[in-house]
Each structure stands twice: as structure tokens, then as C-alpha cells.
Amino acid sequence: MDTVEKIVEDFASDIAMSSFSSGTRLRDMIRAIRACKTAAEERAVVRRECAAIRTAISENEPALRHRNMAKLMFIHMLGYPTHFAHMECLKLIAAAGYPEKRVGYLGLMLLLDERQEVLMLVTNSLKQDLNHPNQFIVGLALCALGNICSAEMARDLSPEVERLMRSREVNTKKKAALCSIRIVRKVPDLAENFMALAASLLKEKHHGVLISAIQLCTELCKASKDALEYLRKNCIEGLVRILRDVSNSSYAPEYDVSGIADPFLHIRVLKLMRILGQGDADCSEYMNDILAQVATKTDSNKNAGNAILYECVQTIMGIEATSGLRVLAINILGRFLSNRDNNIRYVALNMLMRAIAVDALAVQRHRTTILECVKDADASIRKRALELVFLLVNDTNVKPLTKELIDYLSIADPDFKGDLTSKICSIVEKFSQEKLWYLDQMFKVLSLAGNHVKDDVCHALIVVLSNASELQGYSVRSLYKALQAYGKQGSLVRVAVWCIGEYGEMLVNNVGMLDGEEKITVTESDAVDAVEIALNRHSADATTGAMCLVALLKLSSRFPSTSERVKQIVARNKENAVLELQQRSIEFSSIIQRHQSIRSSLLERMPVLDEASYLVKRATATQATISANKHAPTVAPGGLKLPNGVAKPTSAPLADLLDLSSDDAPASTTTSTTTPNDFLQDLLGIGGVSTSTAGVPSTASTDILMDLLSIGSSPLQNGTPGQESKPVHAVPEAIDLLGSLSSTTSVSAETKPTRLVSQGMDLLDGLSSSTSVSGLEKTVHPSITAFQSTTLKITFDLKRQPGNPRETTIHATFTNLTSSTYTDFIFQAAVPKFIQLKLDPASGNTVPANGNGSVTQGLSVTNNQQGQVYEDLHPLVPPFYLASIVYLFYWLEFNLLPYDVVYNC
Amino acid sequence: MIHAVMVISTQAKPRLLKFYSFQPPEKHQELVRSVFQLLSARPDGVSNFVEVDSIFGPGTKMVYKHLATLYFVFVFDSSENELAMLDLIQVFVETLDRCFKNVCELDIVFNFNKLHTILDEMILGGQVIETSSEQIMKSVEEIARLEKQSSTTSLIPKSISERFSR
């Protein structure tokens, strides 16, 4: 009934004052839209209206224009496109009448946006309206300009706005002041023009003008240092006076908010004071008294009063305040925190976050209260409080704080558990002083919120576990117990299952009991039971399932008595729907059944994981991803073209090479990846374990060589990260390996000379670069050592064809520096597309050992883009000193020969 | 700076949208939806502030007031005082109340135009221009008078002729 009356009343007022409703038909449309029961109906109505409006636009009917625009604004609000009406806005603005202009400007602000070029067309109308005698039309123009002006418009119209700031009209003045904020934001250079004007507006009495002027001053301070200095000198007295007047003034009904005189003006002044007083002792000194007065005299029973106090405390914290004032501020904070209003507590926490930088001790005093806030029912407060607690943690309070947080974890809101868990984990990791404490806390977190623990946290835990040999027994027993009680927590299951698999015998035999630890009796089959239950419960999750299977396999070797049972469990999973689990089951079954001989060595305990390298990797992982993303595109478009015309990704040759040995190389390569390598891997797009040696390019050639040589030999067990990153160390290993090869080992040197050249240079740095650098200056190229390691030496004799400057002939000589003979030696080369390569037959396919004789081969190279490409690549000079990996790859991609050769020939 | 002012009904319908920092129009409805989702999930009696970094960009906060069937939402950044924003919503609602005498959702639906006029007298380019509802009403009334004057001279004859032509 109420509604009907309202409608009737509305209708009556509509007839009486048709000014705002632009004719009744707008109401009709809104009613029609409101009457729609479904979205489809609504769309139909809107479509019909839009069609009618489009017709009206095309018929150019001025009388309907402003009503149509009003309708369109409603349609726009509902989310339908209204771009066809942009020109109509401009026409309305250009009209003479006030109602048209009003709707036109409103449409301009709502329908158009900064991206529209149409906006430029409005500059002229704006200029005219800014100079209009009617202050309301000026007001409309200022409002539109303040909301949507672009940098060009700001430059064009700033003189008008400056003039309007001197106007006598209060309304015009305050709008012009705010309009200049937008202008200064768009064109900071204009700030200087407004400094004096803004300062003079501070002498006004009208609160609206004052608040606008103060906001303008604040903006000017942000935009320009000069303005800041100017305002420091000229405004501070005025500001203090304004603040004193407004806080001392008796009842002023107009600007009163629940009994507090104009809190908005208070707040703006305090904000500007903070900016002026920051880092300026004189200014701060000047403000001290009035700040103390505001802080003590403001009534804190009302929201408005608290808003002022809040701002005041922020200002005291921001400026060079006296210590007495600081104490006052901290006390206000304390009062806020104990307030029952959630809003007040929220801002108090907010403020404490900032105060922690100024006075951490004072904030620590409120620790208990803050900790209570973590448990608040209000999500905003909880989140803030948790962040604050995180900042408050230090070595002395970490234990009680962690205990509190973990205790709360069990009853926390499910939505909040994720945040809380990750914060607890990072606190525990960051501040753990002893391993036992760290492990205990982690086990608790895993038990209570294992489903919210991130994978990297689990990995870090496992790394720590594998290093803490004296605590492994304790850990596996604790985890076993936790697993019995909290078998549904995903991460707990994974960590526990891994530990049972690795340290199963410690579980059963109670190895490494700690003082005060309760003895538990676990039989071998109990351990298998635990894993089997976990497997059945989590079989949907491939990772957990796979970990369970591995654990079972390991247990079968640790406890021979359970072997038969494990076999059955594994066999049952042969038909698992998850492919990963199915495959593992089949493989593991065959290990159990057919490979008894190697089983025990295969299922030995994992080697101790390298803690330091893991930490480094984890810390830089994010960084590496970012840089990889950044650099990857620079390499991608190149895409190395192989001579056979098949385009392959840049990394393909390398990967191919490594593929040769992929059967037995993985063992040697998996552990060799350090973080910088990851970055490169990303760069190359190489995936998979077998290629992870691709690592740092400077080591790549060595690796290639090693892998090549490892054919037919037992898996390499080198590759600690240290060796990988220092190729020079790795080379001797290659000799050793080579030494172990039989003399008939075939070496298929399917490598690109260019790659070897560049890498060789880089790799051996001082050794061979001297020769090649010398080549840079000469046009006649002497013999250069293209590649030299302790195993193989390649020299190139370069000659340019007299008749054809683009063609270079190369006489390559291969020398075997090892003690075994290379048989079936093949030399292959790849060049970029713009270079033609002719390979003459080699003088033989056997390279005698110990440098006794060599194989030679002729190549001729024709550069079809002489000089062109390399001018583009100019910044790459000199390539031999390229430090950056990306550049190196660029270089690899484009270089057949040392830079100068191709460039000059 | 205030980034946006929104009035959303408890039925998730936008009743007033005003963006002071650029938001592409095609995203407006999505913003309304995500804001509404946040609002409807909040129980009574919790604080009126929500961090909306994921919706409006880093450092943005939202303050809201739930009155009858409407949510009044102001989105702003760190340069504004949260508690003062709450008071500003109060000023806005008070002004509406003065303007429509016991404002209800229907007033707002049918007079969204007038709402914009009020808002433009209160906030300009994301900065507060006037905080006294009395002053705001004074300007709005003068604008109404001006519209009426011009419409009596230019619009009424037209609308009459329109009626005759039908």
C-alpha cells in the first residue's frame, strides 16, 4: 500500500515539477523495465527502446534529444551498450538551454570515457561554457571537466579554470579548485600556476571552499616539490588557524555531524599538515600545540569524533612530533583497540600497522589485544590483525604467538584457515631456532589444517627432515600417530607417507628415541596398513596416490615379510583410473616380481637433500619465473632453422643431443639443476628430466660432450650443482669417462661447430678467445681454434673467395686429444637460413688418439645477407664477452662463425 | 580519492553507478556483481570496511551502509579517512532524505537523474566538494528552479504540441 501511495505521490510531483524527469516517458520506460519478470523480457524492452532512440537520433529530433539521453543513461546503468549516443551528448552540450546542457554533461560524464576521441570535440563547448555568465552553466562545465578531462584538455582549459578560481561565486570557486586537482594530476607541470591561488583560497570563510582548497594544496604537494616548499612557507599558519577555529567553534548547525563541528574539514587539514610536517622539524613544531589540543579535546563517543582522532594520530605518527605527543597518540590507539565498535577496531589495527614502523615497542604492548582480534568474528578485522601479528613476531615472542595461532587454527573459520595456515608456516620457517620445535609446529599445522598447507611448505619440511638424521625416528613416529588421527588432511598424508616409506624401520624399531618420548609399538604390517589406508582414501589425488605407491614399494624392500602383501596392493592398482597410478603400479609390480636382484639398491633411502640449494631455489623461484617471462619472447621469434628446412625451436638441437643419452643420463642430470638453470630451461622451453642439464649454456657443451661420451657406459654419477656451474671442473670428469670407454666407442659428433665455437669460447674464456678476438681486427683470418676441450680440438682455417666476398671457405681440422680413438666420427653443422653451407666429404671417419694425426673437412659458407643482419645485432659486439644468457642465445641462434667473419665476409 | 559511488539494491540491481577513476563500461556490471557478492556475504554487526584490492586495484577499500533495501557503497583509496567516508555516506543519505522526504528505493529508481545532480554537488572528480547537506540542497533547489524556468519557456509548448500531434 505504501508503495502505491508513493508512486501516486511521485507521479503528482512529476507533473508538478517535470524538470528533473525529462518528460513522463522516461518513467514509462523505467516502469516497463521494472515490470519485466525475466532477463529476456528486459532485454526485449531495452532493445525496443534503443531502436526507437536510434531512429530519433537519425531523424535528428532536437525536442526528444534530452529525454532520450536520460533514458540512455538508465539503460547504460543496466549494462547495455550506448555508444551510438556519444554524438548526441555533444549536441546537447552545444544547445543553449540549461536542461539540455545539464543532461548533455551528465551523459558526457556517464556514457563517454577517456578512450573516446569524441572527447576532444567537446573542448570548445567546455571553453564557451566556462566563460558563460550563468554560474550554474559554469558549474556544469567545471564538474564535467573535473570528472573526465584529458591531458590535452587540461592544457587547453587551465587558464579558464585559474580565472574561475578568482570568481566571486562560492560554488564556482570550490568547483574550480577541485577541477584543478584533475588538471594537475593530468599535467603535473601546471602545478606551479595554481600554488599562489590555492594558498589564497585558504583565507576564505566558507567551509566548502576551504575543503576544496585544502584538497588542492594536498594534491599540489604530491605533484611538485616546489609547491610543497611554497606551501610550507605560506600556508602553515593559515592551516593552524583554520583548525583552531573549527575545533573551537561553538555549535555550527550547517556542518555539524552528530555534534562535532565539520569533521571533514578537520580531517582534510590534518592530512595536509601531515604532508607539510613530514621531515620538517619547524613545521612540525608549529603544529604541536594544536594537534595536542585536537587529540585531547575531541569527543570520542561518536564516529565523527573518532574519525578526527584517527586522522590526528596518523598525523602525529607522520610528522616530527614531540615524544609527549607520540605517547598521547599511542594511548588513543589503545583506547580504540578496546572499543566495542568494529569499525573503530578496524581502523585501530590499520593505524597500528603504520605505527609499527615508528614505535614497534609501543605496538608490542597491545599484542594480547591484537591476538584477540585475530579470533574476531569479523573477517576484515581478522585479516588485518593477522597481518599485524605477522609483523609483530620476533625471536623472543615467536613461541607463545605461534602456540596461540595454532591453538586457534583448530576452531578457525574454514575461509580463514588458508590465510592463517600460510602465515603460521612462514612464521615458523622464519623464526625457528631449533629443528625439533620447527618439526613439532609443522606437524601440528599439518594435522589441523593439512588441506591448506602449500606444496612448497611440504617440500621445505621434507628437505629439513632428510637433513635432520637424529630426528627422523621421532618425526616418523609423530607423523604415524598424526596420520592415525587426522587421515583426511592431504599434506599430512603426503609427508607422513613419504616418511614411512623412507624411515619405516625407525618407526617399527623405535630408533632414535628422544627424551620424554612415548614408546609406541608398531608392527611391520601396521606400517603397511597405514599406507594402504592412505592410498585407498586418497586414490583420487594422483600425487598422494603416487607417493603411497612409492612408499609401499620401499616398505616391501625394508620389510621382506610384507613383500607379498605389497605386491597384492600394488597389483590391485594396475587398473586404477588415474593413468599415473596405473602406470606406476604396473612398473612397480614388475620391479617386485622380476627384478629382485636390483630391488634393494633401487629402493635405498633417498640421499640427503641439499638444504642450502633448495633454499636458494625457493627464494629465487618467483624471481626467475618473472625474468623468464620477460626474456622468453626475445628468443622465441627467432626459431632456429635447420638446414633441412624444418623449423625447430631454438632448443631442439640441444635437446636432440641430449636425447641420445636420455636412456641412461637422467641419473646424472636430475640433481644438477640449480635455480639459474631453471630460468634457462624456461627460456629454452625444454621440459622433462633428461634435458635438465641444458642448464647454463656455458656448461652445455661440456654436458653434451659428456652425454655423448656416456653412450654405452654406466650412468654418470656426477653433477653436484657446484660442478655443473663450473664447467672447467666438469671437463676432467669427461676425460675420466672417456678413459673408461673402450677404444671402439663410436662418437657421433652431431654438433654444430658454431655452437661449439661460441660455447667453447665462453666456456674456456681466456683460452681460446684470444685467438678469435685477434680475428676481429683482421680481414684475413688466420687459423682459429674453434673449439678446444681436453677431449677434442677443432681448428678452422678461414679463406675468403677472391671473386665472391660473401663466400668463405673453411678448412676444419679435428684433433682427438684423448688416449682412445674416435671411430665413426661425423661432423655436422647447422646454419641460419640466410647462410648457405656446403660440406665437403671428410678425410676420414676415424680420429686417432693422443693427437696423432687428425681428420680434416672442407666447408664453404655463403652469407646471403651480408652486413644486414649483423648491423641489427650491433649491440651484441663483442660476442665473446656476452654475460647475459639471453644474449648468448641470440648469439647462438645467429652465429655460424665468430662474429667478425660473417660480418665482414 | 573516491574511486566509485554505487547504490545497489538488495536484489543486486544497480541503482546508481558513478566512477571517478576510469573503469571500462563493459566492466561495470561485473564490478556491481562482485561488490554485491562481497556485501551479501557479510553478516550484520561486522565492520563496514572491506578491502577490495582484487576488484578495484591495489590499496582500495570499500565502505558500505545497508539501509532498508539498499546498499550505499563508496570505494576509495588510502588517501581517504575510512571513518569520514562512513560519515559522508550519512551526509549523502541525509541529503536524499531531505530531497525526497523519507527516501525509498522507488524514489531512487525513478529519479536517478536527480541523484546524479546531488552527487555532483557533493563529490567532484573523486574529491569531496561539499559536506553540508543544507548547502547541497540549496544548490540542487536552485538548479531545479533554473530547469523549471527554462522548461516553462521551451519545453511545455513542445510537449503540448507533441500531445496534439499524437
- Record: contact B129-A178, CB cut-off 8 A: yes
A415 vs A780 pLDDT, higher one: A415
Q: Per-residue pLDDT averaged across A340-357, rounded?
A: 86
- Note the pLDDT of residue B64: 94
Which CATH fold would you assign to the domain B2-165? Beta-Lactamase (3.30.450)
Residues A715 and A765 in one domain: no
B69 — contact with chain A (CB < 8 Å)? no
- CB-CB under 8 Å, A23 with B82: no
Exposed, middle or buried: residue A599 (CB in 10 Å: 0-12, 13-18, 19+)? middle
Q: Tell me, yes or no, whether A766 lies in a domain.
A: yes
Letter string b/e over residues A291-330, b meaning 16 or more CB atoms within 10 A of that residue's CB: bbebbeebeeebbbbbbbbbbbbbbbbbbebeeebbebbb
Q: pLDDT-based confidence at A362, cuts 50/70/90?
A: confident
pLDDT cut 70: percent of chain A above it: 72
Model confidence at A655: pLDDT above 70: no
**What is the CB neighbour count within 10 angstroms for residue A766?**
7
Same-domain status, A759 and A722: no
Rg (CA), chain A: 39
Look at residue B124 and give its three-state secondary structure: strand
Going by pLDDT thresholds of 50, 70 and 90, the confidence category of residue A732 is very low
Q: Which grid coordinates are listed for A779?
A: 680481414
Residue type, A131: N
DSSP class per residue in A442-462: HHHHHHHHGGG--HHHHHHHH
Residues A686, A654 contacting (CB under 8 angstroms) = yes
| ipTM of this predicted structure | 0.89
Inside any domain, residue A427: no
A504 grid coordinates: 619405516
Do A838 and A799 have their domain in common?
yes
| The three-state (H, E, C) secondary structure of A822-877, written as one string | EECCCCCCCCCCCEEEEECCCCCCCECHHHCCEEEEEEEEEECCCCHHHHHCHHHC
Range with the lowest mean pLDDT among A35-44, A758-767, A840-849?
A758-767
A789 and A673 within one domain: no
Alpha-carbon torsion, ordered B62, B68, B70, B71, to 10 deg? 10
Q: A890: pLDDT confidence band, cut at 50, 70 and 90?
A: very low
For residues A473 and A510, the answer to whether their CB atoms sit within 8 Å is yes
Instruction: Kindly report the nearest CA distance between residue A618 and chain B, in angstroms.
Output: 26
Hey, of A2, A46, A102, A298, which one would you mutate to test binding to chain B, going by the most B CBs within 10 A of its CB?
A102
Question: DSSP readout, A333-382?
Answer: HHHHHT-S-HHHHHHHHHHHHHHHHH-HHHHHTTHHHHHHHHT-S-HHHH
Asked if B11 and B63 count as a contact pair (C-beta separation under 8 A), the reply is no
A701 and A817 co-located in one domain? no
> What single-letter amino acid sits at A106?
L
User: Do A774 and A680 share a structural domain?
Assistant: no
- Compute CA distances A397 → A350, A367, A401, A402, A420, whole Å: 22, 10, 6, 8, 18
pLDDT in tens, B106-130: 888 888 888 999 999 999 989 999 8
pLDDT band, very low/low/confident/very high, at A175 (cuts 50, 70, 90): very high
Q: Look at residue B18 and give its three-state secondary structure.
A: strand
Residue A779 lies in a domain: yes
Nearest-by-CA chain B residue for A350: B82
Within-domain flag for A407: no
- Name the residue ranges covered by the structural domains of chain B: 2-165
Q: Is residue A791 part of a domain?
A: yes
Contact present, A33 and A45 (Cβ < 8 Å): yes
Residues A796 and A707 in one domain: no
Distance in angstroms (rounded) separating the CA atoms of residues A777 and A895: 18
Distance CA(A197)–CA(A184), nearest Å, equals 13
A826 or A77: which leads in pLDDT: A77
Q: Does B27 touch chain A (CB under 8 A)?
A: no
What pLDDT score was predicted for residue B85?
93
Contact A307 B83 (CB under 8 A): yes
Q: What is the pLDDT of residues A575-622, one digit of tens each?
A: 888 888 888 888 888 888 887 777 777 777 777 777 777 777 777 765
How many Å lie between the alpha carbon of A394 and the closest alpha carbon of chain B? 27
**Residue A475 has which C-alpha cell?**
618425526
Residues in chain A with CB shorter than 8 Å from the CB of B91 are 257
| Grid cell of A768 as nine digits | 681460446
What string of DSSP letters covers A518-544? PP----HHHHHHHHHHHHHHTTTSHHH
Number of folded domains in chain A?
A: 2
Residue with the larger pLDDT of the pair A763 and A260: A260
Least confident of A485-489, A509-513, B33-37: A509-513
Mean residue pLDDT across chain A: 73
Which residues are paired to A863 by β-bridges?
A835
Nearest Cα of chain A lies from the Cα of B60 at a distance, in angstroms, of: 13
Q: Which residue, A545, A484, A544, A475, is CA-closest to A504?
A: A475
Is the pLDDT at A466 greater than 90? The verdict is no
| A482 in Cβ contact with A492 (< 8 Å) | yes
Q: What is the pLDDT of residue A671?
A: 36
Contact A20 B150 (CB under 8 A): no
Residue in B51, B106, B129 closest to A10 by CB: B106
C-alpha atoms less than 13 angstroms from C-alpha of A331 in its C-beta half-sphere:
10
**Which carries the bigger pLDDT value, residue A689 or residue A630?**
A630
Do A793 and A852 lie in one domain? The reply is yes
Q: How far is A124 from chain B (nearest CA, A)?
A: 20
Among candidates A27, A110, A146 on the partner chain, residue whose Cβ is nearest the Cβ of B125: A146
Same domain, A769 and A674: no
Q: Provide the percentage of residues in chain B whose pLDDT is more than 70.
A: 90
| Predicted pLDDT of residue B61 | 92
Residue A364 confidence (pLDDT): 85
- Map residue A809 onto helix, strand or coil: strand
Q: Are strands B2-9 and A854-863 parallel, antiparallel or unpaired?
A: unpaired
B135 to chain A: closest CA residue: A254
Is there a domain that residue A484 lies in? no
Composition of chain B by helix, strand, coil, percent to 5: 55, 20, 25
Same domain for A858 and A787: yes
Please count the residue pairs, one from chain A and one from chain B, whose beta carbons lie less than 8 angstroms apart. 193
Is A502 contained in some domain? no
Integer Cα distance of B147 and B164 in angstroms: 24
Lowest-pLDDT range of A258-272, A384-398, A473-487, A669-683: A669-683
B84 in A contact zone (CB under 8 Å): yes
Contacts of B148 in chain A (CB under 8 A): 17, 19
Is residue A127, in this structure, part of any structural domain at all?
no
Residues A871 and A812 in one domain: yes
pLDDT of residue A607: 78
- The residues in B 110-139 lying below 8 A from A, measured between CB atoms, are 110-114, 116-117, 120, 124-125, 127-132, 134-135, 139
Structural domain including A884 reads 753-904
**Amino acid present at A486:** Y
HSE-up (13 A, CA, CB side) for residue B24: 4
Closest CA–CA distance from residue A606 to any residue of chain B (Å):
43
Could you tell me if A792 and A821 lie in one domain? yes
Q: In sequence order, what are the beta bridge partners of B2?
A: B76
